[in-house]
């Protein structure tokens, strides 16, 4: 036996317990332990059945993901689960808690499966861009039919015990603990003289598993799986289960599963998973510091952002004072909040009662004194340093001494803002994204004087609001907006001046995998917002003369987006669809002439490449400047806040997948054409020349 699988006999039942805290992740030692346990039980005449359970709350969270990046230890899944399946004595899995991936696959290789009522079985591999590789694609179709199996693996969603029982994924739901219920079930099987029942020996029910039905189902997933291919690989394996003998099907599963691990989305999504987990490790932060409690909050400004932030707090059950300068704006803000909640009620996300409960948590006020007993206040007033400083000063005067002062600024210096208060150590940036009650990302901006406790509390706010908080440095636009302004959108603007229509720029960027193109996003958010932000940024950074000339010209012409009826696109009254507008082409042509820019044909590939490479280059610079602590933090920011195709892993992971020498080569190509805007970041040059990746850079830190 091994340390991670214990063996115990109770009467005629051998109990193998997966015991590898915290979640019984399956590694080589568990696989070896299972083989040894099954062998021992089969050699013991007193044993009539074998029960496999998980120690702790859950059966198993699945494969140890650390094995995914390197060579997996022996024995293989095929050998270990094959030994379980070919056991001469019946093997029963008793599932509990949240059981995932390789854990569920182990259960599928057992002869009988039972589960406690709260158990959820998930084959989530698709969310990591990979195909299950421990037999699920062959065994699940044999238990639940090919079509159902395909859906379970392509959805990647939890199957609750009751449903699992209905469809034949498990045999019974048991009372009490998995161990007690499993033992009772095993003893009943023994009493009934039940035999081993290998899943592999069953025939696959392929009823309804035809091209039309499969196409119709995959169509329902088209939006969620845009740009993805894992679903096709899963289909290939399930098709093999339907068409071929078990062992041949298993070989095909291995081929597609191994290939998925090396695919763009396999590498990308596994990277994104680990990157999300790494954000809480903050270099230089004192780990002993505890967050301050957050029992009450205030938000200043009831506009787009303030309203969304108040909703996010109310959703988390935190009472929040919503402070405005004028009654009319307060009324409008509250009405918008109510309307947004009403939409949630219509969609069945919350009940009418919850709507009222949440509204009741939001206390509107025109008086800053409403913040006199809060633990944290988040200001979301106009993006203007003087306005924000005045608000900070007023808050500083009424807040209790321990309270934290946060700003939702998109680009202004937190350090300068903090200096307007008597408590710069308590001042922090909490940069939310629209809509603030929905978007997962929170950039947590550390000013020069921000204390560790304030940062830790900022992270606690993120957790409370179920967001992913990434700590970033205090520089223009922080991480996300700077990469957007100085990289991605700068290039989009320039390409339009070079004669590419806003439609084509958006299409090219969407073809790369972004949810929305920059022209549409700008029109939605307001082109003037960017113009104002850049005006602030230009004070501190030199930019090429072509920097966002089109966006700024549109702002100047009053074409600030859908709210003004025209921006990069033209809008019909009452319709948010953007239409191509020859006026924009004319403005672009005039700008091209004025800036001596050649208008030319540009391919979709170039649109995608310039978008991706400009992000990478500015990202590398931000890393070098110390504004992001890790390349993977940059990826988290882009995946969660900017609609970057997560399956590519993020801009920096995309660079690693392309290979930094190639990235550098292409950036130099554009530098030769466009000059300094494309000057490669020194960090990128260094890593490329040393043959290293951004992942190597992160690992060395
Ligand atoms: P907005 O114009 O919709 O709302 C600002 C609100 O602040 C208005 O309702 C205004 O009445 C109120 N206000 C102004 N001065 C005030 C004062 N002295 N006291 C109380 N209330 C006051 O703006 P927004 O889009 O919500 O942006 C707010 C902040 O959030 C800005 O700093 C912006 O940069 C930042 N931000 C915006 C976005 C976005 O996409 N809209 C995203 C992230 C961050």
The pTM of the full predicted model, rounded to 2 decimals, is: 0.93
> Is residue 46's pLDDT more than 70?
yes
What order do you get walking across the sheet with 441-446 strand by strand?
362-365, 320-323, 297-300, 376-379, 404-407, 427-431, 441-446, 468-473
Taking the centre of ligand 1 as the mean of its atom positions, its distance from the CA of residue 188, in whole angstroms, is 66
Other Cβ atoms closer than 10 A to 148: 20
pLDDT bucket at 701, cuts 50 / 70 / 90: confident
Residue in 155, 159, 130, 154 with CA at minimum distance from that of residue 67 = 130
Which ligand 1 atom sits closest to the C-alpha of 307?
26
Which ligand 1 atom sits closest to the C-alpha of 387?
18
> Is residue 70's pLDDT more than 90?
no
Q: Are 315 and 392 in contact (CB under 8 A)?
A: no
Residue in 113, 90, 207 with CA at minimum distance from that of residue 164 = 113
Dist. CA 61–CA 30, nearest whole Å: 13
Helices (H) and strands (E) in the chain, counts: 31, 17
CA pseudo-torsion sign 124, 128, 131, 135:
negative
pLDDT at 541 (0 to 100): 78
Taking the centre of ligand 1 as the mean of its atom positions, its distance from the CA of residue 102, in whole angstroms, is 48
pLDDT at 575 (0 to 100): 86
Residue with the smallest CA separation from ligand 1 atom 15 is 381
> Is residue 543's pLDDT more than 90?
no
Dist. CA 615–CA 324, nearest whole Å: 37
Taking the centre of ligand 1 as the mean of its atom positions, its distance from the CA of residue 383, in whole angstroms, is 7
Q: Are 209 and 146 in contact (CB under 8 A)?
A: yes
pLDDT at 430 (0 to 100): 98
Taking the centre of ligand 1 as the mean of its atom positions, its distance from the CA of residue 366, in whole angstroms, is 15
pLDDT at 71 (0 to 100): 74
Tokens of 375: 């633990």
Dist. CA 413–CA 456, nearest whole Å: 20
125 catalytic, yes or no?
Answer: yes
pLDDT digits (tens, 9 = 90+) for 253-287: 999 999 999 999 999 999 999 999 999 999 889 88
Residue with the smallest CA separation from ligand 1 atom 36 is 410
Dist. CA 527–CA 232, nearest whole Å: 40
pLDDT at 1 (0 to 100): 62
pLDDT digits (tens, 9 = 90+) for 435-446: 999 999 999 999
Catalytic residue, chosen from 8, 118, 125, 498, is 125
C-alpha distances in Å from residue 681, one per residue of 224, 614, 618 = 35, 11, 7
Ligand 1 lining (C-beta closer than 6 Å): 300-306, 323-325, 329, 333, 380-383, 387, 391, 408-410, 432-434, 525
Instruction: Indicate the average pLDDT of the chain.
Output: 96
For the residues 230-254, what does the mean pLDDT come to? 98
Dist. CA 509–CA 492, nearest whole Å: 9
Three-state DSSP at 418 gives: helix
Best probe residue, ligand 1, of 382, 409, 432 (max atoms within 8 Å of C-beta): 382
Dist. CA 661–CA 691, nearest whole Å: 7
pLDDT digits (tens, 9 = 90+) for 602-616: 999 999 999 999 999
pLDDT bucket at 125, cuts 50 / 70 / 90: very high
For the residues 307-323, what does the mean pLDDT come to? 98
Catalytic residue, chosen from 105, 253, 379, 609, is 105
Q: What is the DSSP letter of 117?
A: T
pLDDT digits (tens, 9 = 90+) for 626-685: 999 999 999 999 999 999 999 999 999 999 999 999 999 999 999 999 999 999 999 999
> Is residue 302's pLDDT more than 90?
yes
pLDDT at 2 (0 to 100): 72
> Is residue 197's pLDDT more than 80?
yes
> Is residue 690's pLDDT more than 70?
yes
pLDDT digits (tens, 9 = 90+) for 447-486: 999 999 999 999 999 999 999 999 999 999 999 999 999 9
Which ligand 1 atom sits closest to the C-alpha of 383?
32
Dist. CA 689–CA 145, nearest whole Å: 53
386 catalytic, yes or no?
Answer: no
Taking the centre of ligand 1 as the mean of its atom positions, its distance from the CA of residue 382, in whole angstroms, is 4
Q: Are 408 and 380 in contact (CB under 8 A)?
A: yes
Q: What is the DSSP letter of 561?
A: B
> Within a 13 Å sphere around the CA of 601, how many CA atoms are in the beta-carbon half?
1
């Amino acid at each position: 036996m091994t340390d991670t699988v214990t063996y115990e006999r109770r009467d005629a039942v051998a109990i193998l317990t997966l015991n590898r805290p915290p979640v019984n992740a399956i590694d080589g030692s568990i696989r070896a332990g299972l083989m040894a346990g099954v062998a021992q039980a089969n050699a013991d005449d007193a044993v009539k059945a074998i029960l496999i359970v998980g120690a702790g709350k859950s059966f198993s969270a699945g494969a140890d993901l650390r094995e995914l990046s390197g060579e997996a230890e022996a024995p293989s899944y095929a050998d270990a689960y094959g030994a379980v399946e070919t056991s001469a004595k019946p093997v029963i899995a008793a599932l509990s808690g949240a059981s995932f991936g390789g854990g569920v696959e182990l259960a599928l290789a057992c002869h009988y499966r039972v589960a406690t009522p709260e158990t959820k079985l998930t084959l989530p591999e698709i969310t990591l861009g990979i195909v299950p590789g421990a037999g699920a694609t062959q065994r699940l179709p044999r238990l639940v039919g090919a079509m159902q199996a395909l859906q379970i693996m392509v959805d990647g969603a939890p199957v609750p015990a009751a449903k699992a029982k209905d469809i034949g994924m498990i045999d019974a739901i048991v009372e009490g603990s998995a161990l007690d219920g499993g033992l009772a079930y095993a003893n009943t099987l023994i009493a009934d003289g039940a035999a081993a029942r290998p899943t592999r020996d069953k025939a696959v029910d392929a009823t309804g598993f035809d091209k039309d039905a499969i196409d119709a189902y995959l169509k329902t997933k088209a939006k969620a799986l845009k740009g993805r291919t894992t679903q096709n690989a899963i289909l290939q394996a399930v098709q093999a289960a339907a068409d071929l003998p078990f062992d041949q099907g298993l070989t095909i599963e291995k081929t597609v599963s191994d290939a998925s691990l090396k695919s763009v989305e396999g590498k990308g999504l596994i990277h994104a998973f680990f990157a999300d987990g790494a954000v809480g490790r903050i270099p230089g932060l004192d780990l002993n510091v505890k967050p301050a409690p957050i029992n009450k909050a205030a938000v200043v400004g009831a506009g787009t952002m303030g309203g969304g932030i108040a909703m996010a707090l109310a959703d988390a059950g935190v009472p929040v004072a919503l402070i405005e300068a004028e009654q009319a704006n307060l009324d409008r803000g509250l009405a918008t909040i109510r309307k947004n909640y009403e939409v949630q009620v219509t969609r069945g996300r919350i009940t009418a009662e919850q709507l009222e409960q949440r509204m009741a948590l939001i206390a509107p006020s025109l008086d800053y004194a409403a913040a006199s007993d809060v633990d944290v206040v988040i200001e979301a007033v106009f993006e203007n340093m003087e306005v924000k400083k005045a608000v900070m000063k007023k808050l500083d005067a009424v807040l209790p001494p321990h309270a934290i002062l946060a700003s939702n600024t998109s680009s202004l210096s937190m350090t300068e803002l903090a200096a307007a208060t008597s408590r710069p150590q308590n001042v922090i940036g909490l940069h939310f994204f629209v809509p603030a009650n929905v978007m997962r990302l929170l950039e947590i901006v550390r000013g020069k004087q921000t204390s560790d406790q304030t940062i830790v509390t900022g992270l606690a706010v993120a957790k409370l609001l179920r967001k992913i908080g990434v700590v970033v440095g205090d520089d223009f636009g922080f991480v996300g907006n700077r990469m957007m302004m100085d990289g991605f959108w700068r290039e989009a603007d320039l390409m339009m001046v070079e004669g590419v229509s806003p439609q084509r720029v958006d299409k090219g960027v969407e073809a790369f995998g972004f949810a929305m193109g920059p022209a549409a996003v700008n029109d939605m958010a307001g082109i003037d917002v960017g113009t104002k932000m850049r005006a602030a940024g230009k004070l501190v950074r030199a930019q090429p003369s072509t920097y966002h000339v089109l966006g700024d010209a549109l702002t100047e012409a009053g074409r600030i987006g859908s709210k003004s009826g025209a921006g990069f696109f033209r809008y019909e009254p009452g319709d948010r669809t953007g239409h191509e507008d020859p006026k924009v082409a004319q403005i672009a042509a005039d700008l091209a002439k004025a800036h001596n820019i050649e208008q030319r044909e540009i391919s979709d590939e170039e649109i995608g490449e310039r978008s991706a490479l400009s992000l990478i280059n500015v990202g590398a610079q931000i890393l070098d400047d110390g504004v992001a602590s890790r390349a993977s933090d940059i990826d988290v920011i882009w995946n969660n806040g900017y609609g970057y195709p997560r399956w590519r892993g993020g801009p920096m992971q995309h660079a690693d997948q392309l290979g930094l020498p190639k990235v550098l080569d292409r950036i130099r190509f554009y530098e030769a054409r466009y000059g300094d805007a494309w000057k490669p970041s020194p960090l990128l040059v260094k890593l490329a020349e040393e043959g290293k990746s951004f992942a190597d850079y992160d690992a060395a830190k």
